[in-house]
Amino acid sequence: MSDNTTTRLLIVGGGPAGYTAAIYAGRASLAPICIEGYASGGQIVRSGRVDNFPGQPAGISGAELGERIREQATTFGARMATAEVQSVDLSTRPFVVTTDEATYRTDALIAATGARPRRLGLATEDEFDGMGVCYCAICDGPFFADQRVAVIGGGDAALEEALQLSKIARSVLLVHRRDGFRANAGLRAAVARDPRIEVLVPYLVDDILGQAPAGVHGLQLRNAQTGQCRTVEVDGVFVAIGHEPSSELFRPALATDSHGFLVTADGSTATNVPGVFAAGDVADPRYRQAVTAAASGCAAAIDAERWLISGAADDPWVSHAVPAPALPAARQPVAGRT
């Protein structure tokens, strides 16, 4: 693509949401451009095995699933741009998106930038990042073969990380600040059956112990109920305490909730800026599943297509400062489209 490219629809972000939006927009003959970033595929690539995505009864790796959806998007005419977005200007028409490679002007935009791992907030977490502190078992687990590791967290992601690491590490210590886990029953049962996983609750991480350049060698923990402290020896720490929406590019133009998730109109993916739509984890504080991200990507592409064909993109009276209206009843699905 040229250094200055104009398109009808630009999708910022890859992964199940962005790639699915590209599939639907491609089928609608919008020839969308999807800026996927250098770490393409989204959070799904961190999953070693996905068993709950429709149409995959035997399971599939997250990386392969992401690549298949991407390939399907390009089959229908979507164009992929591997670059990092530097800025987004929603105050002008067409919108302007600048990456480290090119500048794009677009009539409509879908924000699908996903979310990123939440951090513990410890100084030593930053100090030993990459020297024993990790956020992805699929990515970094092999470095800890036959070693002792700890996983911090109590949701689905934490238990999935622990189970993945138990296949590689000598032992896995699962540390959670509450008495019980928020993860689903199937994951809890699997952890309980795994002889390599030890559960330690309710404990908080006060510090990560280590020495550069050797890296991590332990954790300083504190019982959340009694205040009693203890030190455990581990060679690696995997932090799995949730995610934060990657919505900074769109602030303050787009409305967000108190946690930074993009806010959309009830029943649609429309944001408060007409012509801008949000899909996937960047706008989903509740479900955060690959299938719901894909579904919202589909919805965003349909919403964007209807907005474009309505002529709203060419209407000089449409202001980016007014709240996005609900889609009028006249915009019905195109017959035969699935």
Following CA atoms 64, 67, 73, 78 in sequence, which dihedral angle do they give, to the nearest 10 degrees? 180
Residue type, 26: G
Each residue of 88-99: pLDDT tens digit?
999 999 999 999
**Whether the Cβ atoms of residue 144 and residue 235 lie closer than 8 Å to each other:** yes
CATH for 123-239 is 3.50.50.60
Please calculate the CA angle 98-100-101 and round it to the nearest 5 degrees.
Answer: 90
- In the residue annotation, 134 being an active-site residue is answered as no
Residue type, 1: M
CATH superfamily of 4-117+243-314: FAD/NAD(P)-binding domain (3.50.50.60)
The stretch 204-233 carries a mean pLDDT of 97
Each residue of 226-269: pLDDT tens digit?
999 999 999 999 999 988 999 999 999 999 999 999 999 988 99
Q: Are strands 229-233 and 79-81 parallel, antiparallel or unpaired?
A: unpaired
Following CA atoms 131, 135, 138, 140 in sequence, which dihedral angle do they give, to the nearest 10 degrees? 0
Question: pLDDT value at position 332?
Answer: 35
Cα 262 to the chain's mean position, in Å? 13
The stretch 308-330 carries a mean pLDDT of 49
- For residue 329, pLDDT over 60 is answered with no
Per DSSP, 247 falls in state -
For residue 334, give the 3-state DSSP assignment: coil
Each residue of 122-176: pLDDT tens digit?
999 999 998 999 988 887 899 999 999 999 999 998 999 999 999 999 999 999 9
- For residue 198, pLDDT over 70 is answered with yes
**Whether the Cβ atoms of residue 163 and residue 195 lie closer than 8 Å to each other:** no
pLDDT, averaged across the chain = 89
C-alpha distances out from residue 196 to 146, 152, 163, 290, 291, Å: 11, 16, 9, 28, 31
Question: pLDDT value at position 337?
Answer: 36
Q: Are strands 103-111 and 4-12 parallel, antiparallel or unpaired?
A: parallel
- For residue 286, pLDDT over 90 is answered with no
- For residue 104, pLDDT over 90 is answered with yes
The stretch 189-199 carries a mean pLDDT of 97
Question: pLDDT value at position 330?
Answer: 34
Q: Write down the catalytic residue from 126, 139, 314, 315.
A: 139
Torsion 45-76-114-90 (CA) sign: positive
* Residue 90: closest CA among 111, 74, 71, 76: 111
- For residue 319, pLDDT over 80 is answered with no
Burial class (CB in 10 A: 0-12, 13-18, 19+), 65: buried
The stretch 303-321 carries a mean pLDDT of 69
DSSP string over 60-114? B-HHHHHHHHHHHHHHTT-EEE---EEEEE-SSSSEEEEESS-EEEEEEEEE---
Q: Residue 201 phi/psi, 5° resolution?
A: -140, 155
Torsion 12-16-17-23 (CA) sign: positive
Where do the structural domains in the chain lie, given as residue ranges? Answer: 4-117+243-314, 123-239
Terminal-to-terminal C-alpha distance of the chain: 30
C-alpha distances out from residue 195 to 10, 113, 143, 161, 189, Å: 48, 38, 21, 15, 12
Q: Write down the catalytic residue from 34, 107, 134, 136.
A: 136
For residue 273, give the 3-state DSSP assignment: coil
- For residue 87, pLDDT over 70 is answered with yes
Q: Which residue has the tokens 């928020």?
A: 182
Question: pLDDT value at position 285?
Answer: 87
